Amino acid sequence: MAPTVADRIVQVLLAHGVQTVHGIPGVHNLALFEALDRSPIRVVVVRHEASAAYAADAHGRLTGRPGVCLTTSGPGAANAVAAMGEAQASRSPMLHLTTTVARRHLGAGPSRGVLHEHPEQEALFAPVTKLTRHVAESGAVAGAVDEALGAAAAAPAAPAYVEIPTDVLGEPAPEPHAGGPPARPPAPGRPELRALAARLEAARRPLVWVGSGAAGQAGPILALARRLGAPVVLTHSAKRAWAGGGDPLVPGHPPHEPAVTALCAQADAVLVLGSDLDGMMTQEFRLPLAGVLRIDVDPLRLQVPYPAEVAVLGDAGQVVGGLLALVAETDREGWGPGAVAHADAQAAAALAGEDDAAPGLAFVGALDAALGDREAVVVCDMAIAAYWTAAYLPLAPTRRILYPMGWGTLGFALPAAIGAACAGGGRVVVVCGDGGVLFAVGELATLAQEGLDVTVVVSSDGGYGMLRYDQERAFGRTFAVDLRPPDLPAVARGFGLPAHRIGLGEAGLAGALAQGLDVTGPCLVEVAGAMTPPRTTSPRWPLRG
Ligand SMILES: Cc1ncc(C[n+]2csc(CCOP(=O)(O)OP(=O)(O)O)c2C)c(N)n1
Ligand SMILES: [Mg+2]
């Protein structure tokens, strides 16, 4: 039998190294599921299409290559929109493959009520992608999928979307043309690099600020920072790919801690590598940064939200490599590791003096101890325990941290853990709240069915704790935030997961978390008790004024 469009799509996925597809079948996409079933690609069937997109996003964040989700026409596809918005905001590469109604029903004006029909399905995805394609020509589908995978991965990474009318999938399709080479990032010229190197050498207190777009270059970045004697501040998003672990040049506290804010403010040149300098990291652009030297592949980002003294359009890895060949070693008395150690000691002392910080720090300390030096991906949700984790969990070369910041998308962590577990990288640990876990609680079934090595740590405070804090501040009372808690360990056991509960204040917390990490396959640990949000959350920003 001649290969069909569905077969050709699978060929393209394989050519791009895709090993896993996350999705849900529907009558329109069955031909693609069937072709995948005949291929070596692992198909992970999830319990909601948003979960498929979160899983694809997590794969993208961890590997830099697009994760793939597969949905059916109409509501199946639309269910993925919020998750794609999160991937877009967090600069994560992913591909959403889906279908539409058959060609004979397209272009007929208003919806005629054909199953899953929406005359403007593609338009739903334009705002959350860098590329959308509607491909109704059987000979053009494979090329469009190839193009979409390449576009999603090209920096700045983003989601891409391809929809195919259901009747096209079963048609015979010719051998696809080999795609062109991937687009190369712009390369800065030698004079530009020389000027940048001279500016850095002339600085008395240089600082390097690393975002997700550069985080995969830990080795060269640290080498450059040592040459310059410059502190290295990581954004939350950078921790998805940073292999450098903790380092004497990397503050162990976020820039929201006043001592680290002061460190940033003292810098007279800030080399910004692959970072948006986003509102959440900079307290909505209040963080004082002087002498911004900006390196980014996105020309629209070079002068916003901070004006740059020097702006270089280019790939951070290339620029850092170029600078390493040009910058001489400089001794900067009173700066570098000494200044970082001082800022960390001050931040730690300030936190130790705050009763409010104790529960959050106890959680992070216990998780750190339980993780030890095992390989792990920690997937954070929008929950108080996760805000502490994303900002304060000590870095280690064995650890990656994923965080939806980003778009601030509650419900990200549990489904994202599916993609993280399939991507490899060790034990996956979800840190979420008792509100967020219920967004995708059905994915406990996916974890069990696939036997994924995921530990779901649920911080339970009987409600939307972060909003309680916001309300107390804004209105002096709470409302619409108390949730009747289910018996979470019992729920997990119902899905076939081992589960246990421990109190946040109990001495055995680290042991209980470690027990949850030692399980083969999935398990759930409930940590009962309330925490106060850290200073990285907007109502607690010290620079709010
Ligand atoms: C999609 C989405 N809906 C709503 C919110 C607003 N929100 C942010 S945190 C939060 C509470 C989450 O509750 P829980 O998961 O129990 O964590 P906790 O704050 O209690 O630690 C809510 C509702 C959001 N960020 N994203
Ligand atoms: Mg809660």
For residue range 348-365, what is the model confidence (pLDDT) as tens digits? 999 999 999 999 999 999
- In CATH, what number does 5-168 get? 3.40.50.970
Handedness of CA 372, 375, 376, 377 (dihedral sign): positive
Nearest CA to ligand 1 atom 7: 410
Q: How far apart are CA 151 and CA 215, in angstroms?
A: 20
Please tell me the predicted confidence (pLDDT) of residue 257: 98
Q: Which two tokens stand for residue 293?
A: 């030297």
Residue (of 30, 136, 107, 121) closest to 78 by Cα position:
121
Residue whose pair of structure tokens reads 């740590």 in the numeric block: 457
Nearest CA to ligand 1 atom 2: 410
Q: Which two tokens stand for residue 544?
A: 């709010």
The 3-state DSSP class for residue 448 equals helix
Ligand 1 within 6 A of CB of 435: yes
Report the interhelical angle of 413-423 vs 443-450 (nearest 10°).
Answer: 20
The single-letter DSSP state of residue 505 is T
Ligand 1 within 6 A of CB of 86: no
How far is the centre of ligand 1, averaged over its atoms, from the C-alpha of 455 (Å)?
20
How far is the centre of ligand 2, averaged over its atoms, from the C-alpha of 466 (Å)?
7
Say if residue 183's pLDDT is above 90: no
How far is the centre of ligand 2, averaged over its atoms, from the C-alpha of 510 (Å)?
20
The 3-state DSSP class for residue 25 equals coil
Please tell me the predicted confidence (pLDDT) of residue 108: 79
- Phi first, then psi: what are they for 494, rounded to 5°? -60, -30
Ligand nearest to the CA of 437: 1
Please tell me the predicted confidence (pLDDT) of residue 414: 99
Say if residue 47's pLDDT is above 90: yes
Residue whose pair of structure tokens reads 């310059």 in the numeric block: 228
- In CATH, what number does 354-535 get? 3.40.50.970
Please tell me the predicted confidence (pLDDT) of residue 331: 84
Burial class (CB in 10 A: 0-12, 13-18, 19+), 134: middle
Q: Is 116 left (phi over 0), alpha (psi -120 to 50) or beta?
A: left
Burial class (CB in 10 A: 0-12, 13-18, 19+), 364: buried
Topology (CATH level 3) of domain 190-341:
Rossmann fold (3.40.50)
Q: Which atom of ligand 1 lies nearest, measured to the CA of 384?
A: 21
Q: 38 pLDDT band (50/70/90 cuts)?
A: very high
Say if residue 1's pLDDT is above 90: no
Nearest CA to ligand 1 atom 6: 410
Cα–Cα distances in angstroms (integers) from residue 233 to residues 129, 245, 249, 277, 312, in the given order = 29, 12, 8, 11, 20
Residue ranges covered by each domain of the chain: 5-168, 190-341, 354-535
Q: Within a 10 A sphere around the Cβ of 14, how many other Cβ atoms?
A: 13
Mutate to test the pocket of ligand 1, among 412, 430, 464 (most ligand atoms within 8 A of CB): 464
Nearest CA to ligand 1 atom 11: 464
What tens digit of pLDDT does each residue of 260-283 get? 999 999 999 999 999 999 999 999
The helix (H) or strand (E) run that includes residue 29 is none
The helix (H) or strand (E) run that includes residue 125 is none
Burial class (CB in 10 A: 0-12, 13-18, 19+), 3: middle
Which pTM value belongs to this model? Answer: 0.98
What tens digit of pLDDT does each residue of 441-498 get? 999 999 999 999 999 999 999 999 999 999 999 999 999 999 999 999 999 999 999 9
Say if residue 181's pLDDT is above 90: no
Q: Average the pLDDT over 368-393 and give the result.
A: 98
Would you give the end-to-end CA distance of the chain in angstroms?
A: 70
Residue whose pair of structure tokens reads 């990581």 in the numeric block: 234
Please tell me the predicted confidence (pLDDT) of residue 15: 96
Say if residue 63's pLDDT is above 80: yes
